[in-house]
Structure formats: structure tokens, C-alpha cells
Amino acid sequence: MHYQWKLIISLMLFAASASADTFVYAVSTNYNNFTGQFGTVDLTTGAFNQIGTTIADPLYGLVPGPNGKLLGISASGNLDSVNPATGAVSVIGAISVINKVSAIGVANVAYTTAELNGTVYATDLYGNFYSVNTKTGAATLIGVTGIPICPSLTNSNEVSDEALFTDGGKLYATFDGVNLATSGVVDSPELYQINPATGVATPVGPTALGLDAAVFVNGAVYGFAYGGSSTVLSLNPANGNTTFLTDYSPNAFDITGAAPTPEPTPFALVGIGITAVLVSRRHKPENHYFQ
């Protein structure tokens, strides 16, 4: 086999290996001081590599946005843009949701995000479902999911976990609620499939407790659960079943959003190899005795 074709095959194998990258972008929240981090997580080892400085206004949900940027919802209710190369965060605009305040004075805010077919969707604390304008942050109400409202709206000791993600052209959400004072489960963890046209959520099956983020990458869904330990799980969208893969670090941080890292294009790499072969042959002496 000629050296040049060995080079092309090597590039193809490299491209296949690179496309099976195990890293994803992630945002995490430290609830001890309510700050955030942006970086990458290795799905195999759980190692977190921070990119940029500490985020003063933690982010929830993480989806691809325009111009190679990533988008997330800040704790203060803004749609933020993240530069994946530097971790720099900039505010796009406030996500306008239905103006409600609970009986104990908790204001309604956007909860988390997902992206499907170029549209960014968001939920709020009351289980409403919106489309989001990625240029302004303005939200348009689509419907009510039927997912339980965040229990913190009625009890300050109670919190919820929610992940919004896509798989196979379908939109899914997970939800649960727990009481921090008693460690009791308020809302059992459930996986839902959401109709993006109406916002209606249909229960699929029980799932893991504490899921705050999930991401589809390399043909599989990975979930990040925060509780007694911080874990990376594989998630089956057909029934909600999960399988433990590894712990993630640092344990003090809750991964609250994840998005795939860009994959190299195999054909582009092969094209580079073919170009190199053509250039090599063009400059090679036309002497058959050298072949």
C-alpha cells in the first residue's frame, strides 16, 4: 500500500476517534457561596476542567447558540451568552415569564433550557413552557407542561431538580422535589416527554433523583445528578432508567447545564489528506522506477 493512502486511512481513523470525544461543556453551581463555573467534563472520568473565571450569577441549562456561543439562564433570570473558548459570560436580555409571586414571596423565574431544531425552549418555576428569542431573551408562552411546580414556591425548605434535553428529535424533561430539612422526597423523580408545539408533558417513567442536567452526545444521553454524591449517569429516554458511570468532581458543585463540544468533520480531515497526496504526487519525479 502506498504511503499516501496509509496517510488518508490514518486521518480517517483519527477523525472517527475524535468524533467519539467524551468531553462536554458544562456549567456548575456552588451552593455554598452561590457562584458558578464554566468548563468541560470528561464523561468517562468525571473530571471537571474550568475555563475562565468564577461566574458571579450561576447558570442553568446550556445549549448551542448563534456564532459558536453557548446560551444559559442565569439565576437572576437573564438569557446569557458564554464564549466556550474563554468562559466569558455576557447578558443578552431578561427572559420575560409570567409575572407571578408565590404565597411565601418567591418570584417566578425561568428555570432551564433546551434546544431543538434551532429553537431554544425554556421552563419556569410554575411548569410553563416557552420559546426564547436568542437575540433578546424575550420568551413566548407555548403552554403548561403539567409538571409539578417548584416546591420552593410553597415551602422555603424544599427545592426541585429539573433537566431539559433532546434526543432523536424529541424533547424531554426530568423533575423531582425534596425537602432539605427532612431529606424526604416531595415529588418523586419522573421523566417526561414534552410536545414542543403545545408544551404538554407526558410521563415516561420514574428516573434518578437529583438530575439537574442531561445531554445527548455520541448517540447516548448522559445525566448529572447531585445529592449524596455527584454522579454521571447514562439515561434511557424510553423508560427513564439510569446507570451509574462515574462520580464527577469537584463534589461541592452541582452541574446545572451541559452541551456537546463541537465534533471535527471527518470528511474535512480526509480532504486535507487527499490534498496532501495530490500535492505530493505533483512534486514527485515521474520515474516509474521509484514506485
pLDDT tens-digit map of 201-228: 999 999 999 999 999 998 999 999 997 7
Beta-carbon contacts of residue 6 (< 8 Å; ≥ 6 apart) = none
The region that residue 174 occupies, defined by phi over 0 for left and psi between -120 and 50 for alpha, beta otherwise, is beta
Identify the pLDDT of residue 21: 66
Instruction: Using alpha carbons, list the distances in angstroms from residue 200 to 112, 145, 203.
Output: 16, 4, 10
Would the pLDDT of 116 be above 70? yes
Assigned CATH for 23-262: 2.120.10.80
Cα–Cα distance for residue pair 144/127, rounded to 1 Å: 6
Q: How far apart are CA 179 and CA 156, in angstroms?
A: 9
181-194 pLDDT, tens per residue? 998 999 999 999 99
CA 88/CA 116 separation, integer angstroms: 24
Please state the domain extents for the chain.
1-21+264-291, 23-262
Lowest mean pLDDT among 65-74, 109-118, 152-161, 281-290: 281-290
Residue 235 to residue 215: CA distance in whole angstroms: 9
Exposure letters 65-92 (e unless 16+ CB within 10 A, then b): beeebbbbbbbebbbbbbbbeebebeeb
Mean pLDDT for the stretch of residues 254-283: 58
d(CA 134, CA 131): 9
- Assigned C-alpha cell, 201: 408533558
Provide the pairing of β-strand 220-226 with 89-94.
Answer: unpaired
Dihedral through CA 165, CA 171, CA 177, CA 180, nearest 10? Answer: 10
Distance CA 27, CA 44 (A): 17
* 171-175, 212-216, 287-291: segment of lowest average pLDDT: 287-291
